[in-house]
Structures are given as C-alpha cells and as structure tokens.
C-alpha cells in the first residue's frame, strides 16, 4: 500500500481523515476486484465442462458433444 499512498505518518496525535478515507476506498476497490476475479475463475472452470455449457444454453447434451 505504501507504494500507492506514500509513507504513512501514524505518529500519535496526527490523523489525516482524507488519507484514511483514501486508504479505505482503495482497500474496498481491491476487495471488489478480488471478488470479480474469483467469479471469473469460477465461470472459466464451469465453461470447461461441455455438459454444463449445453444445459445452460438450453441445448440437449449427448456424449461425444464435448469431443
């Protein structure tokens, strides 16, 4: 995080609300990106199964359709 925000000065008695809000926003965005990345990986795995692809698209699946 330091690379993004610069060095933090957390000396007792000093508090910069703007920097704290900025840090919270960045952490929230990182979490959202990680969640989307996880969903993407799950979708890719589901897409590897020809039977699942056929059923999701409403097609009938017969053995050998997936080659």
pLDDT tens-place string over residues 12-32: 556 677 888 899 999 999 999
Question: What pLDDT is stored for residue 66 in this prediction?
Answer: 59
Alpha-carbon torsion (4, 31, 27, 2), positive or negative: negative
Question: What pLDDT is stored for residue 34 in this prediction?
Answer: 96
Query: What SS3 class is residue 32?
Result: helix
Range of the domain at 41: 16-56
The answer on pLDDT for 61 being more than 70 is yes
Q: Is residue 67 part of a domain?
A: no
Query: Based on the structure, what is the number of domains in the chain?
Result: 1
Of 37 and 13, the one with more pLDDT = 37
pTM of the model: 0.54
Question: What pLDDT is stored for residue 3 in this prediction?
Answer: 56
Q: Is residue 5 part of a domain?
A: no
- Residues 15 and 23: their CA atoms lie apart, in Å, by 13
CA dist 8 to 24, 41, 56, Å?
Answer: 14, 34, 49
Q: Is residue 61 part of a domain?
A: no
CA dist 35 to 1, 24, 53, Å?
Answer: 19, 17, 23
Q: Is residue 35 part of a domain?
A: yes
Q: Is residue 37 part of a domain?
A: yes
């Amino acid at each position: 995080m330091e690379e993004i925000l610069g060095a933090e000065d957390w000396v007792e008695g000093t508090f910069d609300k703007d920097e704290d809000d900025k840090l919270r926003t960045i952490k929230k965005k990182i979490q959202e990106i990680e969640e989307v990345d996880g969903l993407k990986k799950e979708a890719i795995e589901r897409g590897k199964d020809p039977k699942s692809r056929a059923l999701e698209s409403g097609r009938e699946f017969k053995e050998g359709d997936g080659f």
